Structure 1
Amino acid sequence: MAVTVETLDKLERRITLSLPADVLRNEVDARLKKLARTVKVDGFRPGKVPMTVVAQRYGYSVQYEVVNDQVGQAFNKAAAEAQLRVAGQPRIAEKEGSSAEEGKLLFDATFEVYPQVVIGDLATAEIERVTAEVNEAAIDRTVEILRKQRRTFEQRAATEAAADGDRVTIDFEGKIDGVPFDGGKAEGYQFLLGEGQMLEAFEKAVRGMKTGESKTFPLKFPEDYHGKDVAGKEADFLVTLKKLEAQNLPEVNEEFVASLGLPESSIEALRADIKKNLEREVKFRVAGRNKAATMDALLKLAEFDVPKSLVAAETDRLVEGARADLKARGVKDADKAPIPAEMFQPQAERRVRLGLIVGELVRNNNLAAKPEQLQEHIAELSQSYEQPQQVVAWYMSDRQRMAEVEAVVIEGNVVDFVLSKAKVTDKGLGFEELMGQQG
C-alpha cells in the first residue's frame, strides 16, 4: 500500500500511520508475561504473581512502551517507502476519533524533511585569501615574553621614581562626587607600570612617584568601561606608593635556554623552536580566517529553507555548551542558569545551513576525509606536546574525538575545493595583525 505524504508547509510533512489493534495487544501480553517471571510483588513468590496483578500494576507503562516502539517502526518503514529524508524527530499524536474497537489505531506523524540544497556557480564567488609569515620580529617578541615570565624583582631606593617596567605596590581610594564606590579602594595592590594593567590615566599618575609619596588625581572612566556603575563618570583618586621594585630580566644565553627544557641549549635552537611553534599557530589561524571567508561566500551562493527542528536541536546544544562553560569557570548552579535560547538562534541557523551546504559539496565532489589526511592532521596537532605519540593514541582511542578530527579535515577539503573554483584575491597579513596584536 502506497504511503500518502501530506505537505503542510515548505519542509513540513504529515503521514498517517495505522497500527493493527490485535498486534499491539499481543505484544503487550507477551511483554507482561515476560515481566511476570521476574517482577517482585509483596505477598507473592517470584514468578507466581497473577497476571491480573501484573497487568494492573504495569499494564499502562508496558502499553505506552509498545505503542511507542510500534509507531516508531511504522514511521521508519513509511518514511523509507516514501523515500523521505527526515530531518529531526517526528511529532506523533493519536489521530482524533481513532479507536482500537475498529481493529486499528491511527496516528499522525508530523515531521520535516531535508531541503534540496542548490549551490550557485562557485566561479562567481569572491573570496579574500590571507597569508602570513613568521618574521624575526615575531621571534624576538616571543623571546621577550619568555624573559618576562622568568623575571625577578628587587626593591628600589626610596629616592628613585617609579618608571615603566617597575612593579609598584600601592594603596588607593576613589570617590565620585565625594562618595566612595564599589571596587574603588584597595590596599597593597600590585601592578606593573607600562604594561596596560591599569587605565592609562592611573598609570600616568603613578609614574614618577617615590616610595611613601601620596597624590590625588582625577580619572575619567571610559564610556565602555566594564564597571557599568562608574562607566563614563569622573572620579578623584588618592594613591600612596608603598613599595617600588625594579624588574630584572634574565639574559638570553645558554643557561636561560636550558631553563626552558629544550634538548639543545643554544640560542639558535631556541629561536628555531619558537619559529616552528609560531609557524604552526600561524598556519591554524590563517586556515581559520580563510575557512570563515569561504563559508561566508558559500552562504551567499545557496538559498534554501532550513528545517526548524535542526535549528532547535543545535540551539539546545549551544545553550548546554554555554552552561558547561559557566560550570567550568566555577559558576554556582550553572546547569540552572537562565540562558535565553534566542541568543543562540542566529548562530545555530548558520551552523545548520553551513552543515547542509558542506554535506552537499562533500557528497557531489568526493571530498570525504581520507585515512592519511586524518593521520596527518592528528600528527600535526600532537607536535605542540612533549609526548606526541601519547596525544596521537589519545585521539585514535576515542570515536568522538576522531569524528571531530574528521569534521575539521572535511571542512579543509571543502575550503580547498571552493578556493580552487572561486575568484580569489590574495592578501598578505603582518604577523601582529594576524595574531591580533596591532599597536
Structure 2
Amino acid sequence: MQVTETLNDGLKRGYAITLTADELDAKVTEKLTEAQPDVEMKGFRKGKVPLALLRKQFGQRILGESMQEAIDGAMNQHFEDTGDRPAMQPEVKMTNEDWSEGDDVHVEMSYEKLPDVPEVDLTELSVEKPVAKASEADVDDALKSLAETATDFEDREDGAAAENDDQVVIDFVGKVDGEPFEGGAAEDYPLTLGSNSFIPGFEEQLVGVKAGDEKTVEVKFPEEYGAENLAGKDATFDVTVKNVKKPVAAEINDELATKFGAEDLEALKGQIRERLEAEYQGAARQVVKRRLLDALDEKVQFDLPPSLVEAEAKQIAHQLYHEDHPDDHGHDHGEIEPTEEHNKLAERRVRLGLLLAEIGNKHEVQVTDSEMTQAIMNQARQYPGQERQFFDFVRQNQQMQQQMRAPIFEDKVVDVILEKAEVSETEVGKEDLQKLLDDLDEV
C-alpha cells in the first residue's frame, strides 16, 4: 500500500492512499481462507467448500470489508508512524468513483493535526489569590436575612384592614356554576397576601378586608390548570375572614437558632460563618483560576487547528444568542455568524484547552469513576423524580459523559498548576471580592 503526502501547510495534512488490486485480492483471499474451516454448504462437508465457491458466494461482502479494513489499517499505521493526532475526524474519500473489481483503490485523506504544545515551567508562574474572612458584620447580616425567612405573624389591632404581606386566616368554599367542587373548601387557612400561592387574582381581592368580613372572590382558573375539570373555568369563592395578622421579624435568639437545627445562637453563628467562608473560598477560587489561565494564555503561543477554533466560535455564538434571546427555545433561527470577538474567545479556549490537556497528561491527571458518579448525581438532582432516568441516560451517552468529565479534569489540572506555581495571598473584604467576581463576568 502506498501513502503519499499531498498537503503540508501549517497543521493541515493531506495524503493519497493507493491500495492495489493485488493487495485487495490477497486480503479477500486471506479472510476467505480464515473462514473456510467453519463454513457449511449443501453438497460439501464442513470446511471443504472450495475457495472459488466461497468467493462467488461471499466475495462482494468480503471485498467491501477488506477494503475498509485495509484503509483503516493504513490510516492507523500512518498516525502511529508520524505521531500525528488529528484535531477532528479525518476526512476520507475515494477518488476513483468509477471503481470496479480488479482496479486499484485510490483514497484521499485530509485532516488538521493537533499542534505540538510547548512545555511550560509551572514554577515560573506567579498568581495572586484573594482571601476573604467572614466578619462579624457579615455574620450579622446573614442572621438578619435568616430571621426574615422565619417571619412570624401577630394579630393586627381590631378593625385593621389587611395589607399586602399580611396573613389572613380564612374559611372559604369554592364554586363553579354555583356548585361546590372537590378540594375547593378549607377552614382556618392561613394565607399570606402577595405570596401568589392561590389562583391569580384571588389574593389581590382580599387586600383591605377586616376580621369578620365576608367576601365573594371571583376568579378564573388558568387554562393550564392541573385539574382538567377546572381548567379555564370561572369560579367564585365565598370567603369568611377570621383574623388579620401582620408580619413580625423573628427575634435573633436561641429560639431562632433551634428552628434552624442549631443548639443555640452561638452555634448558629458558627454555622453561618462556615457557610460564608465556604462561599468566599469558592469565589476566590474562580478569581485565582481566571488569573492563572490569563497568565498561561499570555505565556504560551502556538498554532491552533482552524477547524477546532471555528467549531468553538460557532458554539460560543450559538450559546450567546440564546442567552440574549431566552424566549427562543428552538434551533430554527438559521446560521449564527461568529463575530471577531467570538473568534478571539474561541482561540483562547482552544489554546488553553490543549495546554491544560497536555499538562494533565504529563502529570497523569485522571477523573475517577467515583468523581464522575458524584457529578452525575449532583446534576441528576435538578430533575426531581427522574434521577434514575437521567443517570442511565448519561451512562449510555459518551458525549454527555465527556461534557461532564471535562470541567472536573480542568479543575484537577488547575490544582496541579497551583501546587507548583508561586501563589501569594491578599486579604480582601466581601465587597472587594464581589467586585473581583463582577469584573470576571465583564471580561
Match of 2:128 in 1: 128
Amino acid at match of 1:252: I
Amino acid at match of 1:342: P
Amino acid at match of 1:10: G
Instruction: Provide, for residues 132-191 of structure 1, a one-character-per-residue CA deviation record: whole Å limited to 9, x for no partner.
Output: 22222222222122122233567989999x9xxx969xxxxxxxxxxxxxxxxxxxx969
What TM-score, normalized by structure 2, do the two folds share? 0.56
Total equivalences in the alignment: 324
- Measure, in 2, the Cα distance between the counterparts of 1:254 and 1:117: 59
- Measure, in 2, the Cα distance between the counterparts of 1:339 and 1:290: 36
Q: Pick the aligned partner of 2:365 from 365, 368, 383.
A: 368
* CA shift in 2, pair 1:323/1:149, >3 Å: farther
Q: Is 1:413 aligned with 2:421?
A: no
Larger radius of gyration: 2
User: What is the 5 A alignment of 1:71-110?
Assistant: 71-95=71-95, 99-100=99-100, 103-110=103-110
Does the CA-based 8 Å contact 1:167-1:245 persist in structure 2? Answer: no
- Measure, in 1, the Cα distance between the counterparts of 2:407 and 2:349: 15
Q: Is 1:430 aligned with 2:429?
A: yes
What TM-score, normalized by structure 1, do the two folds share? 0.56
Does the CA-based 8 Å contact 1:369-1:410 persist in structure 2? Answer: no
- Measure, in 1, the Cα distance between the counterparts of 2:430 and 2:285: 14
SS at 1:114 equivalent? coil
Does the CA-based 8 Å contact 1:378-1:405 persist in structure 2? Answer: no
* CA shift in 2, pair 1:316/1:258, >3 Å: farther
Deviation at 1:367, TM superposition (A): 6.0
SS at 2:252 equivalent? coil
- Measure, in 1, the Cα distance between the counterparts of 2:353 and 2:124: 21
- Measure, in 1, the Cα distance between the counterparts of 2:246 and 2:346: 51
Amino acid at match of 2:306: K
Amino acid at match of 1:85: R
Aligned CA RMSD, in angstroms, stands at 5.4
User: What is the 5 A alignment of 1:190-339?
Assistant: 247-260=247-260, 262=261, 264-315=262-313, 333-338=329-334
- Measure, in 2, the Cα distance between the counterparts of 1:304 and 1:120: 12
- Measure, in 1, the Cα distance between the counterparts of 2:102 and 2:413: 53
SS at 1:13 equivalent? strand
Aligned-residue sequence identity (percent) comes to: 22
Deviation at 1:304, TM superposition (A): 0.6
Amino acid at match of 2:429: G
* CA shift in 2, pair 1:338/1:134, >3 Å: farther
Deviation at 1:301, TM superposition (A): 0.7
- Measure, in 1, the Cα distance between the counterparts of 2:348 and 2:364: 21
Does the CA-based 8 Å contact 1:324-1:335 persist in structure 2? Answer: no
Q: Which residues of structure 1 form unaligned runs of 5+?
A: 31-53, 169-188, 192-210, 212-243
Q: Which residues of structure 2 form unaligned runs of 5+?
A: 33-56, 167-192, 196-207, 209-243, 382-386, 439-443
Range with bigger deviation, 348-357 or 251-260: 251-260
- Measure, in 1, the Cα distance between the counterparts of 2:144 and 2:415: 34
User: What is the 5 A alignment of 1:141-156?
Assistant: 141-151=141-151
Deviation at 1:81, TM superposition (A): 2.4
Amino acid at match of 2:428: L
Deviation at 1:430, TM superposition (A): 0.9
Deviation at 1:112, TM superposition (A): 0.8
SS at 2:338 equivalent? helix
Instruction: Provide, for residues 352-389 of structure 1, a one-character-per-residue CA deviation record: whole Å limited to 9, x for no partner.
Output: 2112112333344x3625979x87x979x99xx9xxxx
- Measure, in 2, the Cα distance between the counterparts of 1:148 and 1:254: 15
Amino acid at match of 1:279: E
Amino acid at match of 2:354: L
* CA shift in 2, pair 1:404/1:139, >3 Å: same
* CA shift in 2, pair 1:378/1:270, >3 Å: farther
Amino acid at match of 2:79: A
* CA shift in 2, pair 1:98/1:71, >3 Å: farther
Does the CA-based 8 Å contact 1:86-1:113 persist in structure 2? Answer: yes
Does the CA-based 8 Å contact 2:87-2:113 persist in structure 1? Answer: yes
* CA shift in 2, pair 1:338/1:94, >3 Å: same
* CA shift in 2, pair 1:110/1:278, >3 Å: same
Instruction: Provide, for residues 244-288 of structure 1, a one-character-per-residue CA deviation record: whole Å limited to 9, x for no partner.
Output: 99642111233322332x2x3311221122222222222222111
* CA shift in 2, pair 1:19/1:404, >3 Å: same
Instruction: Provide, for residues 181-213 of structure 1, a one-character-per-residue CA deviation record: whole Å limited to 9, x for no partner.
Output: xxxxxxxx969xxxxxxxxxxxxxxxxxxx9xx
SS at 2:268 equivalent? helix
- Measure, in 2, the Cα distance between the counterparts of 1:93 and 1:311: 24
Does the CA-based 8 Å contact 2:7-2:15 persist in structure 1? Answer: no
Does the CA-based 8 Å contact 1:21-1:100 persist in structure 2? Answer: no
- Measure, in 2, the Cα distance between the counterparts of 1:128 and 1:339: 41
* CA shift in 2, pair 1:413/1:126, >3 Å: closer
User: What is the 5 A alignment of 1:10-89?
Assistant: 10-21=10-21, 23=24, 26=28, 70-89=70-89
